[in-house]
Amino acid sequence: MWCRTDPPHRSDARRAPGLAHIRRGAAGTGAPSSWRPLSRRGGDHSLPGMEHPIRLAVAEGLERNRLTTAFRIILAIPHLVWLSLWGIAVGIAVIVAWFAALFTGRVPDALHGFMAQFLRYLTHVYGYVLLMADPFPGFLGDRPYPVDLAVAPPEVQNRWIVGFRVIMAIPAAIMSQALSYVIYALAVLSWFAILFTGRQPLGLRDLTAFVVRFNQQFHGYLLLLTERYPDFSPGPPR
């Protein structure tokens, strides 16, 4: 079951209507009480999977600030530095979690929460750097953001899958590496489009969201947050 959450600040809900139900969860998991998929004109559609333990939500707004967009990489430098430092701690945590899951079949709650909060923060930074959102993210990944992630609580995992996780993740790692080149191209196209129009094209936003969703599911699989393999399809997984 999803963690119980507290309601978001009203300003956050206005700024990110598509995340009205993404709330502050235990250990930063940001688990939603009810899921609202990415919206598009003429109706709603679900870009992220509704059943995967790691799920992405993106706000409906496409308007962007031209000034902050122009200097987005420079503005993001503090986050990139902090990500590197936090990533070192996560690297140690996943080794401990691997041994724990190998012997007990389950990642301890504290380690799961720590790595889930890091993954959520990484998603916020992705959203900011890739121009999917305007607000400057917080540094803890514990508050709602227009590009947000929900991670299910820890569950019992198959020890064999845990033991060979790195080997089993190779196909997804290849896919993730290939998509990383795509996402850079999408960011450049979005940058020019926003500078000229003040909006991120819907198609670019949706395709970027798909890549971010896949990468975060891959990272979650590698970090032992779930034994569910990343979803390769652009639609909801089955």
What pLDDT does residue 229 have?
Answer: 94
Is 229 part of a structural domain of the chain? Answer: no
Is 233 part of a structural domain of the chain? Answer: no
Is 217 part of a structural domain of the chain? Answer: yes
Is 209 part of a structural domain of the chain? Answer: yes
pTM of the model: 0.78
Q: How far does Cα 184 stand from its chain's mean position?
A: 17
What pLDDT does residue 227 have?
Answer: 94
Is 134 part of a structural domain of the chain? Answer: yes
Domain membership of residue 31 as a residue range: 10-222
What pLDDT does residue 60 have?
Answer: 79
What pLDDT does residue 116 have?
Answer: 97
Tell me if 145 sits within 8 A of 204, measured CB to CB: no
What pLDDT does residue 235 have?
Answer: 55
Q: How far does Cα 172 stand from its chain's mean position?
A: 16
- pLDDT per residue as tens, the chain (238 positions): 333 223 333 344 334 333 433 333 433 344 433 333 333 333 333 334 447 999 999 987 899 999 999 999 999 999 999 999 999 999 999 999 999 999 999 999 999 999 999 999 999 999 999 999 999 999 999 999 999 999 999 999 999 999 999 999 999 999 999 998 999 999 999 999 999 999 999 999 999 999 999 999 999 999 999 999 998 876 543 3
Counting the structural domains of the chain, the total is: 1
Is 234 part of a structural domain of the chain? Answer: no
Is 230 part of a structural domain of the chain? Answer: no
Is 235 part of a structural domain of the chain? Answer: no
What pLDDT does residue 51 have?
Answer: 79
In a 10 Å sphere around its CB, with 0-12 CB exposed, 13-18 middle and 19+ buried, how is residue 55 labelled? Answer: buried
